[in-house]
Structures are given as C-alpha cells and as structure tokens.
Amino acid sequence: MAEKIVVDARNMACPGPITKLTKAYRKAKPGDIIEVLATDPGFKPDVQAWVQRTGNELLELKEENGVIKAVIKVTAKK
Amino acid sequence: MAQKKQVLVLGAGAGGLIAGNYLAANGYRVTIVEKNDYHLFQPGMLWIAFRGHDPERYMRRVTELVKPGVELVKGVVTEINLAERLVKLSDGREFSYEYLVVALGAAYDYDAVSGNRELLEKYGDFFSGAEHARRLWQAFSSMKEGTLVIAAADPGYKCPPAPHKAAFLAAETLRERGLLGKVKVVLAVPFVHEYSSENIARIVAPKLREAGIEVKTMFTVESIDVEKKKLYSLEGEELGFDVATVIPVHRGPLDKVEPETAVDEDGFFKVDKHTLRIEGYDDAYAVGDCNNTPTSKTGVTAHLGGEVVAERIMGYNAVFTGRTNCPLITDGEALFVISDYEHPPVPVRFSKFKRLLEDMFIAMYWPSLRDPEKWSPLFRAYFEATQPKILAKLGW
Ligand SMILES: Cc1cc2nc3c(=O)[nH]c(=O)nc-3n(C[C@H](O)[C@H](O)[C@H](O)COP(=O)(O)OP(=O)(O)OC[C@H]3O[C@@H](n4cnc5c(N)ncnc54)[C@H](O)[C@@H]3O)c2cc1C
C-alpha cells in the first residue's frame, strides 16, 4: 500500500534536505508520497533539479513563512 | 583530594586517543579498548590507492600513540549497557566505568547496496583499510585505457571532499603517465551540484574540468553489476566502468546498545550536539564519526570533540561548535571546507599556501594524538582565526 513519508529537514543547511530526501527515496515504494519540509533557500532549485533528473512527479512546491514544502509522488521506481 | 575518576574510552582512533591522552595528562585513570594493533591515518588511503604510497607511511602502532599510564586493552567491543555502566567484549570480558567515551567511528554496510561487497573484493576501495586501498592501487595502476569511476552509495559518507580528492589524485597519476584521456576519470556524486555545498561546488567545478575529470551529479549508487561492469543509480541512470570504487553506506559501530533509544535508526549515538553527552546519560559521551551530530564526519570534528569531552569530564564548560576543516587537494593547491553548526561552508580560495598548511597538519597528526595538551593551543589559535563567522565576511 502506498504510504506518505514526511521528511522534516527544517533548520538543516544544504545539502541536508536533499540528503534526507535521497535516504527517504531509497526506502520508498512506487506510489508513495514524500513530503519534504525545509528552510534552506537552496532547497527549492535543488528539489526541482532532483525531480527532473529522477523523473518523479512534483505535486506541490510552495513557500510559507520561510518553510519550503515539496510534495513528491514516487512514479519513477519500478 | 578525592582520587580522580576512572574513564573508559572505546576506540583508539582520532577522537578516542585525543580524549584519552588529554585526560591521562590531567591525572585521570584511563583505559582504552581497541581492536586493532595499528592506527591508520585514514586520509592516507587516498595516497595509497591513487598515488601508490607505501601503507606503512600512514600506520602507527597504537602502543606508540598512548601516553604512559594509559591502560590499553586489545579487544572487540560488542555491547554497551548504559544503564548498568557495562561494556562487553567479544571474548567475554566485561568492563565497568565511571565515565564512558565512545569513539568507535563509523562502520560500513557493504550489503546495503547489492554488488558492493563483490566490487570491494575485486577492486578494493579507499575507505576500509590499507589492504583494500592497496588493492585499488593495483587495479587502478594497471589500467592502460577505459573508465575509472569513483562513486558513493549514500550522501552521508565521512569527509565530504574525499571522492573529489581521489579523482584529483587519480588524474595526477594518469597525467604523469601520459594516460589521461585514454583512461577517463568519472566522479559520480550523490549531490545536486559537483560538491555537497553549492558554495564550494562553484569553486571546485572549474578545477575538476581543468584536471580532465568528468563529473556526474545526482548519482547515488543503488546497485552494482560487477560482471557487466555497470553501476545503477537511485536516480535512474547507469554508468559503465572498467575499474570502479563505491564508498559504502555508513552506519553506527555496534549492533547491541542498551537502551536502544541511545542510537538513531542508522545506529549512530544520539548526543547533545554541543556537549556530546549521550542523550539521557550524564556519564557517557560519544565523539567523532560514531555520533549523530549534524556536521560532516571528519578527523577534525573527532579531534575537537575529543578535547571537548575531556574538558567536560574535567569539569569545564567546553562546547562543541560543529566545526569542520576538510582539505580539498588538487595538484599542488588546496582549500579547506570550513563550516560550523551556525554557518554553512564559507567560500574560500584554492592556494599553494593552504596546500603547505595541509602538509603541516599531516606532519602534526601523530604528535597531536599522543600529546593533545601540548598541541591544543596551536590548533586553537588556527580554529579561532578561521571561524566561519569571520571568514564568511573576509573570505580566505
Ligand atoms: C579516504 C578518507 C579521507 C579522509 N580525509 C580526511 C581529511 O582530510 N580530514 C579530516 O579531517 N578527516 C578526513 N577523513 C575522516 C577521518 O578519518 C575520520 O572522520 C576520523 O578518523 C574519525 O575519527 P573517530 O575517532 O571518530 O573514528 P576512527 O578514527 O574511525 O576510530 C575508530 C576506532 O575504533 C576502533 N573500533 C571500531 N570498532 C571497534 C570495536 N567494536 N571494538 C574495538 N575497537 C573498535 C577502530 O579500529 C578505530 O581505531 C577521511 C576519511 C577517509 C576514509
């Protein structure tokens, strides 16, 4: 069954958030949703580059009160 | 005056030797448990693997590195029970303590990525000991053509610039032999940019290009087919190789720790990031690669952490700042990746002077492990003057 995985990388400097996303992605199954919260401003362009490279689906990317939230659907894993 | 306390130190790596010797210099009764006869200067593995250096240059007998008066126990730690203040060894011996300093470093999980163990057996690596580094040199130095791939199975490996240094040193060897180009050096990094921190990536990327090193970003090795000579990444790509080395997934050093809540899901000791005390215990510390502090796992971190723990046991209010100082070496030049908890890596320049400084640090390595109390003021002056909060404005 698909799961929602929340990765809290708030207050982590770069490359903490992408590193945590990579770790979560290794364990994720097709169809899972990974939600990443980060405060590092570099995370926004980084997660876009990551989604493009890996071919997963970016459902949401927004910034609110200094917190960047990225919601990714795992579609590229077989 | 009451007799000074008894301290049990686990591991005679950088962190354990600094803490143990520093405490012994101040009259504490210190026991160090270590499984190996030799201490290996880990950055030396790069020089063994890619420059063909003699491993002996980077090894010293542990007995030569502990102060007189320190009790050295040879043995393998298998279990720590924090509640009962008990440490067990594989041969059944048990030790109790008044203070405990865990400095067992990181362990490697070669089974986390399929094919990694087989790859290690075939080509060696530059992370897991002098013998494996020697094996990698044999594979690398016999290449006349083809592709050398240097990659990692996880972004959380120790010494973030290590694979970059590996690539620079490999390219240097190939250039000297007139083989650069015939043998292609590919550096695959598990980061979005050429280096984990974008600040540093900007400085390093042109140097890598100049050196003729091809970089593949966002390539975290997920599996390895040694037969077909292919690496597959978590990000969905593949890389062919003739010789490859993959930095293994790191994990905490012990399978058995009581209570289990003292370690995180990867087995690293959960500590207060400033005092390095193991969560929930005021008589146990974890320093260096074996703890979960949110900073790079480096020798400098272990060294500074070892001092902080020793001073805290002595009753001072020492604080660990998360400071790193990782040298990135190219041909004749170097820079240091400098950061702490409050500051991401500051942009600094490559220079010949820093390369000299790095050679000096290496020369100071052995004496500083044995006599930390003598060398500490010198290191402190350097770390004071190069605090990221100062360098962030001034550059260096
Ligand atoms: C290729 C490479 C290059 C590096 N370059 C640099 C660099 O340029 N600068 C830098 O600052 N850092 C560098 N590092 C990182 C640095 O070497 C480590 O961060 C440092 O050694 C950590 O020290 P430590 O005391 O925590 O652990 P370690 O030095 O790993 O010591 C752990 C000790 O515990 C012992 N031990 C482990 N398990 C047991 C057990 N069960 N029982 C008994 N004993 C045990 C081990 O034998 C070892 O002696 C590099 C590392 C590598 C691999």
What is the tens place of the pLDDT at every residue in A3-26? Answer: 999 999 887 766 788 989 999 999
DSSP string, B90-126: TTS-EEE-SEEEE----EEETTSSBTHHHHHHHH--S
Tell me which amino acid residue B285 is: Y
Shortest Cα–Cα distance, B234 to chain A (Å) = 7
Contact between residue B250 and residue B107 where contact means Cβ atoms under 8 Å apart:
yes
Spatial separation of the C-alpha atoms in residues B367 and B369, rounded to whole Å: 5
Of ligand 1's atoms, which has the minimum distance to the CA of residue B324? Answer: 11
From chain A, the residues in CB contact with B249 under 8 A are none
Percent of chain B with pLDDT over 70: 99
From chain B, the residues in CB contact with A26 under 8 A are 220, 222, 234
User: Which residues lie closer than 8 Å to B63 by C-beta, 6 or more apart?
Assistant: B37, B72
Residue B390 pLDDT > 90, yes or no?
Answer: no
The token pair that represents B86 in the structure block? 């008990």
Q: Give yes or no for A43 touching B (CB within 8 A).
A: no
Q: Give yes or no for B223 touching A (CB within 8 A).
A: no
Query: Is the CB of residue B43 below 6 angstroms from any atom belonging to ligand 1?
Result: yes
Spatial separation of the C-alpha atoms in residues B74 and B34, rounded to whole Å: 5
User: Which residues lie closer than 8 Å to B3 by C-beta, 6 or more apart?
Assistant: B29
Provide the whole-model pTM.
0.95
**For strand A57-64 and strand B86-89, is the pairing parallel, antiparallel, or unpaired?**
unpaired
The answer to whether the bond into A15 is cis (omega within 30° of 0) is yes
CA closest to A23 among chain B residues = B154
- Per-residue pLDDT band for B380 (boundaries 50, 70, 90) equals confident
- Between B4 and B274, name the one with better pLDDT: B274
Spatial separation of the C-alpha atoms in residues B309 and B23, rounded to whole Å: 9
* Spacing, Cα B184 to ligand 1 middle (Å): 30
Domains of chain B: 1-35+75-106+252-322 (3.50.50.60), 109-249 (3.50.50.60), 324-396 (no CATH)
Percent of chain B with pLDDT over 90: 85
Please answer yes or no on whether A13 and B234 come within 8 Å at the CB atom: no
- Per-residue pLDDT band for B101 (boundaries 50, 70, 90) equals very high
Contact between residue B51 and residue B57 where contact means Cβ atoms under 8 Å apart:
no
User: Which residues lie closer than 8 Å to B46 by C-beta, 6 or more apart?
Assistant: B126, B133, B162, B165, B166, B169
Spatial separation of the C-alpha atoms in residues B19 and B24, rounded to whole Å: 9
Spatial separation of the C-alpha atoms in residues B44 and B150, rounded to whole Å: 17
Of B49-58, B125-134, B254-263, B340-349, give the lowest mean pLDDT range: B340-349
Query: Is the CB of residue B196 below 6 angstroms from any atom belonging to ligand 1?
Result: no
Report in angstroms the alpha-carbon separations of B108 from B48, B121, B151, B152, B263.
Answer: 20, 14, 15, 12, 16
> What integer is the mean pLDDT of B167-175?
97
Spatial separation of the C-alpha atoms in residues B252 and B264, rounded to whole Å: 9
Q: Give yes or no for B114 touching A (CB within 8 A).
A: no
Residue B1 pLDDT > 60, yes or no?
Answer: no
The token pair that represents B184 in the structure block? 């292609």
pLDDT at B391: 85
Residue B152 pLDDT > 90, yes or no?
Answer: yes
> What integer is the mean pLDDT of B12-27?
97
Segment A29-52, tens digit of pLDDT: 999 999 999 988 889 999 999 999
Three-state secondary-structure class, residue B376 = helix
Please answer yes or no on whether B218 and A25 come within 8 Å at the CB atom: no
Q: Which of B98, B102, B94 is nearest to B3 (CA)?
A: B98
From chain A, the residues in CB contact with B222 under 8 A are 26
Spatial separation of the C-alpha atoms in residues A31 and B95, rounded to whole Å: 50
Interface ipTM:
0.92
Query: Is the CB of residue B77 below 6 angstroms from any atom belonging to ligand 1?
Result: yes
> What integer is the mean pLDDT of B331-347?
86
> What integer is the mean pLDDT of B194-206?
91
- Per-residue pLDDT band for B141 (boundaries 50, 70, 90) equals very high
Q: Which of B190, B197, B194 is nearest to B326 (CA)?
A: B197
Beta bridge partners of B49: none
